[in-house]
Amino acid sequence: MRVGIIGAGAMGRAMARRAARAGSIVRLADRSAGRARLVARETMAGTPGVVEASSIRAALRPGLVILALDRADSLEFLRRHGRLLAGKVLVEVTAPRTDAYGTDAYGTDPCGADPCGADAYGTDPCAAGPCAAGGYGSRASGAGMGDLMAAVPGASWVRACAAGDAESIYRGLIDGHPVDIFVAADDESAKIRVIELANRSGLRALDAGRLDRARVLDELTSLGREISHRLAAPEGWAIKLLPSW
């Protein structure tokens, strides 16, 4: 499978690693070409897949494209490049950025250090203002799924929520168990493609229903982030559905 990933920050790094573990050919684009090259080399090591730093146009050629940006940056990106994405499967893997603790969608401080740089796509996340949530939005600041979908209405949208921090997703395991990823979409064939990719990558994919669950998945991430913050969990976190298999 060929996969495009937009953004080489912490979540883009995690998604590139998972896709490479699944044996995919990955095109990774970031405003910082140097960062994309570093992440590509790291995430491909020891996997059956290929990860290559690429231009935006090259990363948008595959039929499945993962958006690993801050929600506000994703919306801006889609408004600029949406004409190239009609008919593709677009996978949103982040959540609205801020909550009461000022942390980002996967438990890191957007104003602090990130394993691959402070932002997801070469912009300052501390300078971005909040966007109103869309039809599949969240009460947290940041664009909602409805805003993203409206920017590219001709795409098959999938919300994939790993409900864990980026480092746990990169590793693929939490307490010795595969990290769960919850997948919601209105297009069943698009959902199946993402579920199969996640399962091949070593994660455990669970069908979370239609896209009207996007708000619930955002809240699930927010809850896990808050609990992790209160526990000061040093090894990362993820929400696991039991029984496990």
Looking at every residue in the chain, the average pLDDT score rounds to: 84
Model pLDDT, residue 97:
59
Q: CA separation (Å) from 83 to 57, 79, 151, 155, 182? A: 11, 8, 9, 10, 28
Q: What would the mean pLDDT of 153-167 be, rounded to a whole number?
A: 94
Closest by CA to 97, choosing from 114, 78, 116, 80, is 114
Model pLDDT, residue 122:
38
Q: What would the mean pLDDT of 158-179 be, rounded to a whole number?
A: 94
- Any idea which of 41-45, 129-133, 202-206, 208-212 has the lowest mean pLDDT? 129-133
- What pLDDT digit, counting tens, does each position of 86-125 carry? 999 999 999 875 443 333 332 333 333 333 333 334 333 3
- What pLDDT digit, counting tens, does each position of 187-210 carry? 999 999 999 999 999 999 999 999
Mention every residue, 6+ apart, whose C-beta is less than 8 A from residue 130. Answer: 72, 98, 141, 142
Residue 19 has pLDDT above 90, yes or no: yes
- Pair 162, 93: CB distance under 8 Å: yes
Specify the higher pLDDT residue, 146 or 126: 146
- Any idea which of 26-40, 73-87, 126-140, 174-188 has the lowest mean pLDDT? 126-140
Model pLDDT, residue 165:
92
Residue 241 has pLDDT above 80, yes or no: yes
- pTM, to two decimals: 0.83
Q: What would the mean pLDDT of 156-175 be, rounded to a whole number?
A: 94
Residue 237 has pLDDT above 60, yes or no: yes
- Any idea which of 50-59, 114-123, 145-154, 172-181 has the lowest mean pLDDT? 114-123
Other CB atoms within 10 A of residue 34 CB: 11
3-state secondary structure of 149: helix
